[in-house]
């Protein structure tokens, strides 16, 4: 409440849609939340146009005083499901996976997103401004295509319709393709081969002369984009032995952009991943040996990957409600030996680079103004955003949850 | 005659058979020591001080500020300004019953075959080689309650464990800790049985099921009271007649019913009720239910709406065990808020942060910290020392073991955690954990338990 009042109070004097905004006295964090220069940021039309000391507001410009608080780029979640289910446990409210089809590469989650979901501002309150909304494995190992969103309710929620293709090859996933890891991987590769045949015969296909393909056209088009490197392929795989096989198998497609996710045992094959420049998306807090694929799961996996020079970013997973939050995950990684700077990078600049999000994940001249001004250390569990900007516009941090809290604080006279 | 008396006494006792599954936990001896230069928070919500704690024979024998005189004839461990707290206690866990790896063959947490399974005991499912136990120890957890799952109205008995590596669950059982009874409100029982076209399929069906079981328990209790009365009369006759006049048969005891034994244990106040209940309106109804049958609810677990009825919880002396921020994973959790724990505290009720998760149990301190900070932002006066009581003292109270652990006090078990950073920080790691004075984790010394499951196939991490 206080946070919102602070922002709204300052904004009261000007207009919400001011094209120019001056943020005074925010700390551009470096190696800790207390290090780095205190600077001013000028934002014009959603872009950071100037960074420096004592910037002067032009007439009519809204001014926000950060009081030397830490500012970070908005966090980027490399995999969650917000917008796909209002209540995760309610099957009827869930749109995150396609079932009753053994090939769903053509499935696109963006068509199912709820831009008014009450969950969206709750993520914003954790400092997250962008994220990939990822399909779950339904009845197909190829689960379909993720979307990129902005964590702001309303028509701007959807940022990019399609971002990546998601393939599930963990222990439990083999049941969908022949019951063996061997058949699952073979089926995944065969589908890519079929997309190559389709590409060669597109003209024949389009003129109805050759339609002898096992897969639907939407799947063929989707897999073709993967094969040609137009869309990255995110493979959920845990066991070290499987990671090696996946990396080796997909080498036959020189343009294919492979990304690993989950990857509990990635640290065991870190030199390979580093050498082949394959990024890894991990959920820091998933350290349980829940199955034999994950025997090597450990809490300090990010530190081991960093030491080996592997590119990695963090994701919060699904359901968001149980795995929040990204900042906490990064904090846990620091407690386990990762540097503070690398932990921040794993939820800002690194995912921006992995996903090709130009202008995001960094605070620099010309960058998109996705900014979070914090009331403390951004990685501390006790911290929260004081203010959040997405595309240079303030986000209302009021949530359904804060409304509930306020109602009962008053009703029970708790203050 | 004496023989017969012994036999009868044995039968009477067997109506509560806990003695048949005793704890064999016997902490190994350790050298007496004094831990000095620690920032001590004893877990009473009264702040911290720089001081020392001395330990001998598993018990805390002295606590003082650095200026106070301390034992100088025992081993001194210099904490170097690190933070010392009571061991963390999780009142809601399924470790051992839902272990890792989590295959069906290992899934032993929920006897979901009937809405009333008060006869099952969680301890009979615990796999002591679950690698999740040492992971919880690395989060500072010294004591935990393992509960049956929530598919049933009455899920069965819980067990309180010391978080030590042992070949047997008996070797982990917290000596003398009361049993708990797991009950469940709301969606789970009605979903599990409703989907089988069986009662309960509604919340009102849930309540009818609770009431029927308690009525049966009252009847069972009366049978035993009648038997014990008859036995007393028989004994009086026997001793006064000295066996000289006409012979009388001793009364025969009622047949034991394990389900009813557990419920009667609650009615007698020997077994504590731990009630899974999300919604405020249902908690209020459960309090009425407990009045109808004359028992006390010890704690509501997963009480995501406790903030709506903090006053009611305080007035009825019921604890609320909560997550910091879980919500939305099911409809009855939709109104979950981060301010929940702090609002329950502010209403004067007993607040606890629990995990119900093999991941969450590794960082209950962080969860308490989140809840604290959310309360502070709302303007409630909760601080780090109060937040610590949510995972120590208050948890011990709900488990009925507050006289033995949960705070640092002379005479209590030396269950203690030395943290690398202030315990309400994400950066805090439990560096050294003592259970009954014995070092069970010491990262610097590369001392940590390794379960049989992990041995030879999982790297040790300190």
Domain membership of residue B222 (yes or no) is no
Mean pLDDT to the nearest integer, A283-312? 97
Q: Which residues, at least 6 apart from B361, have a Cβ–Cβ distance to it below 8 Å?
A: B90, B93, B95, B132, B135, B136, B139, B141, B144, B355
Residue A4 has pLDDT above 60, yes or no: no
Identify the pLDDT of residue B243.
59
Chain A segment 362-391 residues within 8 A of B by beta carbon are 375, 379-384
Q: What is the ipTM of this complex?
A: 0.94
Q: Whole-angstrom Cα distance, residue B345 to residue A278?
A: 48
Residue A96 contacts B where some CB pair is shorter than 8 Å: no
The residue among B18, B11, B5 whose CA lies nearest residue B255 is B11
For residue B366, give the CATH number of its domain.
3.20.20.140
Residue of B nearest to A400 (CA): B335
Closest Cβ opposite residue B359 in set A288, A383, A404: A288
**Could you tell me if A413 lies within 8 Å of chain B, comparing CB atoms?**
no
Residues in chain B closer than 8 A to A314 (CB atoms): none
At A7 the pLDDT is 44
pLDDT category, A209, cuts 50, 70, 90? confident
Residue B54 included in any domain: yes
Q: Say if residue A5's pLDDT is above 80.
A: no
CA angle A341, A345, A350 (to 5 degrees): 150
Of the given ranges (A137-141, A204-208, B255-259, B293-297), which has the lowest mean pLDDT? Answer: A204-208
A-chain residues near B421 (CB < 8 A) = 335
Percent of chain A with pLDDT over 90: 81
Confidence of residue A205 (pLDDT cuts 50, 70, 90): confident
Token pair for A82: 């917000």
For B190, the enclosing helix (H) or strand (E) is helix B187-194
Asked whether the beta carbons of residue B333 and residue A328 sit closer than 8 angstroms, the reply is no
Q: List the single range of A323-327, B150-154, B343-347 with lowest mean pLDDT.
A: A323-327
pLDDT recorded at residue B404: 98
Lowest-confidence range among A170-184, B330-344, B409-423? A170-184
Chain B residues with CB under 8 Å of A296 CB are 458-459
3-state helix, strand, coil in chain B (%, to 5): 30, 20, 50
Give the whole-angstrom CA distance, residue A381 versus residue B458.
30
Question: For position A9, what pLDDT does the model report?
Answer: 41
CA distance B12 to B16: 8
User: To 10 degrees, what angle do helices B364-377 and A326-335 make?
Assistant: 130
> Which two tokens mark A315?
């994701």
Q: Taking the alpha carbons of B11, B17, B23, B24 in that order, is the dihedral positive or negative?
A: positive
Contact A257, A232 (CB under 8 A): yes
Q: How many Cα neighbours within 13 Å face the side chain of A275?
A: 7
Could you read off the pLDDT of A14-52 as tens digits, one per residue?
Answer: 444 448 999 999 999 999 999 999 999 999 999 999 999
pLDDT at B458 over 50: yes
**Gap from B293 CA to chain A (nearest CA, Å):** 29
Report chain B residues whose CB lies below 8 A from the CB of A408: 307-308, 343
Ranges of each domain in chain A: 2-73+367-410, 75-354
- pLDDT tens column, B190-221: 999 999 999 999 999 999 999 999 999 999 99
Residue B10 scores a pLDDT above 60: no
Q: Give chain A positions within 8 Å (CB) of B378.
A: 1, 405, 409, 415
Residue A6 has pLDDT above 80, yes or no: no
Eight-class DSSP state of A61: -
What integer pLDDT is reported at residue A12 of this predicted model? 40
Instruction: Mutate one of A119, A328, A399, A408 to test the B interface: name it (highest B CB count within 10 A).
Output: A408
Mean of all residue pLDDT scores within chain B: 95
Q: Grade residue A103 by pLDDT with cuts at 50, 70 and 90.
A: confident
Q: Which of residues 323-352 of A touch B (CB under 8 A)?
A: 324-325, 328, 331-332, 334-335
- Classify A397 as helix, strand or coil: coil
Q: Which of A319, A335, A383 sits opposite B427 (nearest CB)?
A: A335
pLDDT for B19 equals 78
Residue B22: count of CB within 10 angstroms of its CB: 11
Spatial CA neighbour of B321 closest among B285, B276, B358: B276
Six token digits for residue A203? 């003209």
Q: Tell me: the pLDDT tens digits for B371-390?
A: 999 999 999 999 999 999 99
The predicted pLDDT at position B16 comes to: 52
**CA separation for the pair B344, B350 (Å, rounded):** 7
Between strands A47-52 and A38-44, the pairing is antiparallel
Whether B411 is in a domain gets the answer yes
Closest-CA residue to B315 (of B354, B278, B344): B344
Check residue A15 and give its pLDDT: 45
Nearest chain A Cα to B312, which residue?
Answer: A412
How does DSSP assign B202-224, residue by residue?
A: SHHHHHHHHHHHHHHHHHHHHHH
CB atoms B366 and A328 under 8 Å:
yes
Query: Mean pLDDT across the stretch A304-327?
Result: 85
B131 neighbourhood in chain A, CB within 8 Å: 288-289
Query: Quick one: pLDDT band at residue A324, thresholds 50, 70, 90?
Result: low
Q: What is the pLDDT of residue B7?
A: 41
A261 Cβ contact list (under 8 Å, min separation 6): A78, A79, A166, A234, A235, A236, A237, A280, A281, A282, A315
Tell me the residue range of the domain where B138 lies: 17-205+258-442
- Gap between the terminal Cα atoms of chain A: 14
Question: Which pLDDT belongs to residue B17?
Answer: 61
Q: How confident is the model at residue A322 (pLDDT cuts 50, 70, 90)?
A: low
Closest Cα partner for B385 from B81, B49, B52, B65?
A: B49
Q: In what order do the strands lie in the sheet with A147-150?
A: A75-80, A128-133, A147-150, A158-160
Place B247 in a pLDDT band, splitting at 50, 70 and 90.
confident
Burial of A403 by CB count in 10 Å (0-12 exposed, 13-18 middle, 19+ buried)? exposed
As a whole number of angstroms, the distance between CA A198 and CA A187 comes to 16
**What CA–CA distance (Å, rounded) separates B385 from B387?**
5
A3 neighbourhood in chain B, CB within 8 Å? 377
CA distance B195 to B400: 36
Chain A residue with minimum CA distance to B454: A295
Give a yes or no: residue B215 inside a domain. no
Structure tokens at A378: 């951004």
Are B32 and B74 within 8 A, CB to CB? yes
pLDDT band at B50 (very low <50, low <70, confident <90, very high): very high
Query: With b meaning 16 or more CB within 10 Å and e meaning fewer, what string describes A126-148?
Result: bbbbbbbbbbbbbebbbbbbbbb
Q: Taking the CA of residue B148 as centre, how many other CA atoms within 13 Å lie in the half-sphere pointing to its CB?
A: 31
For residue A73, name the pLDDT band (cuts at 50, 70, 90).
very high
* Spatial contact of B349 and B319, defined as CB atoms under 8 Å apart: yes
Size of interface A-B (CB pairs under 8 A): 147
Contact between residue B177 and residue B399 where contact means Cβ atoms under 8 Å apart: yes
Spell out which residues of chain B touch residue A299, defining contact as CB-CB under 8 Å: 362, 461
* Residue A401 at interface with chain B, using a CB cutoff of 8 Å: yes
Q: How confident is the model over B14-25, as pLDDT tens digits?
A: 445 667 899 999
Q: Do B377 and A3 touch (CB under 8 A)?
A: yes
- State the DSSP string of B317-368: T-EEEE-SS--SSSGGGTT--TTHHHHHHHTT--EEE---STTGGGGHHHHH
Shortest Cα distance from A414 to chain B (angstroms)?
6
Residue A349's CB is within 10 A of a number of other CB atoms, namely 19
Test A379 with B333 for CB contact under 8 angstroms: no
Q: Check A288 against B366: CB less than 8 A apart.
A: no
Q: Which two tokens stand for residue A329?
A: 């995950």
What pLDDT sits at residue B18?
64
The whole-number pLDDT of residue B2 equals: 43
Contact residues on chain B for A382, CB-CB shorter than 8 A: 369-370, 372-373, 424-425
Superfamily of domain A2-73+367-410 in CATH is Urease, subunit C, domain 1 (2.30.40.10)
Asked whether the predicted pLDDT for residue A54 surpasses 90, the reply is: yes
The answer as to whether B250 is a domain residue is no
Residue B454 lies in a domain: no
Split into its structural domains, chain B has a count of 1
* CA-to-CA dists, residue B243 to B2, B228, B230, B237, B240, angstroms: 12, 20, 17, 9, 8
A75-354: in CATH 3.40.50.620: no
Look up residue A291 and give its two tokens. Answer: 């199955």
Residues B106-126 have a mean pLDDT of: 97
The closest alpha carbon to A191, from A159, A213, A161, belongs to A213
Structure tokens at A66: 């950060």
The 10 Å Cβ neighbour count of residue B258 is: 14
Q: Are B119 and B64 in contact (CB under 8 A)?
A: no
The pLDDT assigned to A204 comes to 82
Contact B425 A380 (CB under 8 A): yes
Cβ contact, residue pair B102, A290, below 8 Å: yes
Instruction: Select the residue of A298, A408, A412 nearest B461 (Cβ to Cβ).
Output: A298
Can you tell me the distance from the alpha carbon of B275 to that of B184, in angstroms, rounded to the nearest whole number? Answer: 6
Return d(Cα A100, Cα A325) in angstroms, integer.
33
Cα angle for residues A215, A218, A220 (degrees, 5° grid): 50
CA distance A312 to A277: 10
pLDDT band for position B232 (cuts 50, 70, 90) = very high
Residue A141: pLDDT over 60: yes
């Amino acid at each position: 409440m206080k946070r919102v009042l602070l922002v709204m109070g300052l904004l009261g004097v000007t207009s919400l849609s001011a094209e120019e905004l001056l943020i005074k006295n925010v700390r551009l964090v470096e190696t800790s939340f207390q290090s780095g220069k205190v600077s001013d940021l000028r934002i014009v039309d959603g872009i950071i146009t100037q960074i420096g000391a004592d910037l002067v507001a032009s007439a009519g410009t809204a001014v926000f005083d950060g009081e030397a608080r830490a500012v970070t780029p908005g966090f980027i979640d490399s995999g969650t499901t917000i917008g796909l289910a209002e209540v995760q446990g309610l099957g009827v409210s869930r749109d995150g996976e396609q079932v009753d089809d053994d090939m769903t590469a053509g499935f696109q989650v963006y068509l199912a997103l709820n831009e008014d979901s009450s969950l969206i501002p709750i993520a914003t309150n954790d400092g997250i401004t962008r994220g990939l909304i990822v399909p779950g494995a339904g009845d197909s190992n190829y689960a379909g295509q993720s979307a990129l969103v902005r964590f702001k309710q309303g028509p701007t929620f959807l940022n990019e319709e399609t971002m990546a293709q998601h393939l599930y090859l963990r222990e439990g996933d083999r049941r969908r393709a022949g019951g063996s890891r061997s058949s699952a991987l073979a089926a995944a590769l065969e589908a890519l081969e079929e997309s190559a045949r389709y590409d060669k015969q597109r003209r024949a296909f389009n003129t109805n002369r050759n339609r002898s393909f096992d897969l639907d056209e939407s799947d063929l088009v989707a897999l073709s984009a993967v094969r040609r490197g137009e869309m990255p392929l995110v493979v959920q795989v845990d066991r070290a032995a499987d990671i090696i096989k996946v990396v080796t198998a997909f080498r036959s497609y020189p343009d294919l952009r492979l990304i690993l996710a989950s990857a509990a045992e990635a640290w065991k094959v870190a030199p390979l991943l580093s050498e082949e420049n394959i990024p890894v998306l991990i959920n820091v807090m998933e350290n349980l040996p829940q199955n034999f694929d994950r025997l090597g799961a450990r809490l300090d996996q990010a530190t081991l990957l960093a030491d080996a020079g592997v590119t990695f970013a963090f994701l919060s997973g699904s359901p968001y409600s149980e795995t929040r939050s990204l900042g906490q995950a990064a904090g846990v990684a620091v407690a386990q030996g990762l540097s503070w700077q690398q932990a921040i990078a794993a939820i800002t600049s690194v995912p921006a680079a992995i996903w090709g999000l130009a202008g995001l994940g960094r605070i620099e001249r010309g960058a998109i103004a996705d900014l979070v001004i914090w009331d403390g250390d951004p990685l501390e569990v006790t911290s929260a955003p004081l203010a959040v900007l997405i595309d240079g516009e303030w986000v209302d941090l009021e949530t359904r949850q804060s409304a509930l809290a306020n109602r009962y604080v008053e009703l029970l006279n708790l203050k | 005659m004496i023989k017969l008396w012994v036999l009868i006494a044995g039968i009477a006792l067997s109506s509560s058979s806990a003695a048949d599954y005793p704890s064999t936990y016997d902490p190994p001896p350790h050298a007496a020591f004094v831990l000095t230069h620690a920032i001590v928070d004893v877990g009473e919500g009264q702040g911290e001080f720089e001081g020392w704690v001395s330990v001998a024979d598993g018990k805390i024998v002295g606590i003082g500020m650095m200026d106070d005189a301390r034992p100088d004839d025992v081993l001194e461990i210099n904490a170097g300004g690190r933070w010392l707290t009571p061991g963390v206690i999780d009142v809601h866990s399924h470790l051992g019953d839902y272990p890792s790896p989590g295959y069906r063959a290992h899934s032993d947490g929920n006897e979901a075959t009937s809405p009333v399974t008060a006869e099952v005991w969680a301890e009979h499912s615990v796999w002591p080689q679950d690698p999740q136990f040492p992971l919880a120890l690395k989060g500072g957890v010294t004591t935990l309650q393992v509960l049956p799952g929530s598919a049933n109205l009455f899920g069965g008995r819980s067990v309180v464990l010391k978080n030590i590596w042992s070949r047997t669950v008996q070797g982990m059982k917290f000596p003398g800790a009361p049993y708990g009874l797991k009950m469940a409100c709301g969606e789970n029982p009605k979903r599990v049985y409703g989907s089988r076209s069986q009662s309960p399929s509604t919340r009102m069906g849930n309540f009818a099921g609770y009431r029927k079981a308690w009525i049966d328990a009252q009847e069972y209790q009366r049978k035993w009271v009648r038997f014990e009365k008859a036995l007393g009369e028989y004994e009086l006759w026997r001793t006064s007649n000295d066996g000289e006049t006409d012979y009388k048969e001793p009364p025969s005891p009622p047949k034991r019913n394990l389900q009813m034994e557990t419920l009667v244990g609650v009615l007698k106040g020997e077994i504590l009720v731990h009630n899974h209940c999300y919604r405020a309106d249902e908690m209020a109804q459960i309090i009425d239910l407990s009045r109808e049958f004359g028992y006390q609810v010890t704690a509501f677990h997963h009480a995501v709406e406790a903030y709506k009825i903090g006053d009611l919880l305080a007035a009825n002396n019921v604890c609320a065990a909560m997550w910091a921020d879980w919500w939305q994973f099911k409809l009855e959790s939709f109104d979950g808020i981060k301010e929940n724990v702090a609002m329950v505290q502010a209403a004067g009720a007993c607040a606890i942060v629990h995990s119900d998760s093999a991941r969450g149990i590794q960082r209950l301190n962080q969860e308490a910290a989140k809840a604290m900070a959310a309360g502070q932002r709302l303007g409630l006066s909760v601080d780090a020392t109060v937040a610590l009581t949510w995972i120590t003292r208050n948890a011990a109270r709900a488990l009925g073991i507050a006289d033995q652990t949960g705070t640092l006090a002379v005479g209590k078990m030396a269950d203690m955690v030395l943290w690398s950073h202030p315990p309400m920080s994400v950066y805090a790691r439990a560096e050294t954990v003592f259970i009954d004075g014995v070092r069970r984790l010491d990262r610097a010394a590369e001392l940590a338990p390794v379960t049989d499951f992990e041995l030879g196939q999982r790297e040790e991490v300190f």
